Amino acid sequence: MSFNVAIDGPAGAGKSTIAKAVAKKLNYIYVDTGAMYRAMALYMLREQVNPGQPDKVSEKCEQADITIAYENGQQVVYLNGENVNPYLRTEEVGNMASAISTFPRVRAKLVELQKSLAAKSDCIMDGRDIGTCVLPNAQVKVYLTASSLVRAKRRYDELTAKGEVCDLAKIQADIEERDYRDMHREHSPLCQAEDAVLVDSSDMSIDEVITAILGLCEKRQ
Ligand code: DC
């Protein structure tokens, strides 16, 4: 049986940075489920589907073939045969991903892909519903969070380092809006699984969080 580590938490909590580092240390694959929702969102944006049209979202969702490959140790997301990794990390795609992830048809399709990856390989998977829904039997479950201000500051620093002009208060407001939507949707809302360990990284360094999660994995192996 494969060993599965589930990491859930709100946007900007550092899940992907931490999960990637833990995967490398343990020689597991890292499955970024947010990237799958983002690929679906990119498809909807390209097809000019409005998330206010549920029937259209469900219909178009069937036409989006999303697959995952690992190239040089990196997860690559293919949308209808095209490597879409370069287009996934924009705010527009992130907001659309949050909106379309509320639809059960979208979730069912991507959850199936996620479960099949985890059944085949030892993996660390991050997202919003991994411990509660996708991998309820994961050997290690972590709920990784940080205050919205800390998360907004991290995003602000990332963007300004790239030379982008941005507004901290606006970033924080967007993060809080996304949290609200992810936590209050009807299907698989973001919440801490009963058996997940809460890690609040507001006052922790990346290395401290990685060490804490590796410690949890060691205990369960
Ligand atoms: O982690 P991220 O920012 O790349 O995720 C983008 C959106 O996708 C997020 O706002 C909600 C959705 N998502 C989800 O509903 N379930 C997951 N397992 C992962 C992401």
| Per-residue model confidence (pLDDT) at position 17 | 95
Q: What is the pLDDT of residues 180-196, one digit of tens each?
A: 988 999 999 999 999 99
| Per-residue model confidence (pLDDT) at position 220 | 87
Q: How far is CA 148 from the centre of its chain?
A: 17
| Per-residue model confidence (pLDDT) at position 171 | 94
Cβ neighbours, 10 Å, residue 174 = 20
Is the beta carbon of 34 within 6 A of some atom in ligand 1?
yes
| Per-residue model confidence (pLDDT) at position 1 | 87
| Per-residue model confidence (pLDDT) at position 57 | 96
The CATH homologous superfamily for domain 1-14+21-28+124-221 is: P-loop containing nucleotide triphosphate hydrolases (3.40.50.300)
Is the beta carbon of 131 within 6 A of some atom in ligand 1?
no
Residues of the chain with pLDDT under 70: none
Q: DSSP string covering 118-152, please? A: HHHS-EEEEESSIIIII-TT-SEEEEEE--HHHHH
**What are the strands of the beta sheet with 74-79, ordered from one edge?**
66-71, 74-79, 82-83
| Per-residue model confidence (pLDDT) at position 91 | 85
Locate 213 and state its tokens.
């999660």
Which of the four CATH numbers 3.40.50.2300, 3.20.19.10, 3.40.50.300, 3.40.50.970 does domain 32-121 have?
A: 3.40.50.300
Is the beta carbon of 127 within 6 A of some atom in ligand 1?
yes
Locate the ligand 1 atom nearest the alpha carbon of residue 102 and give its number.
15
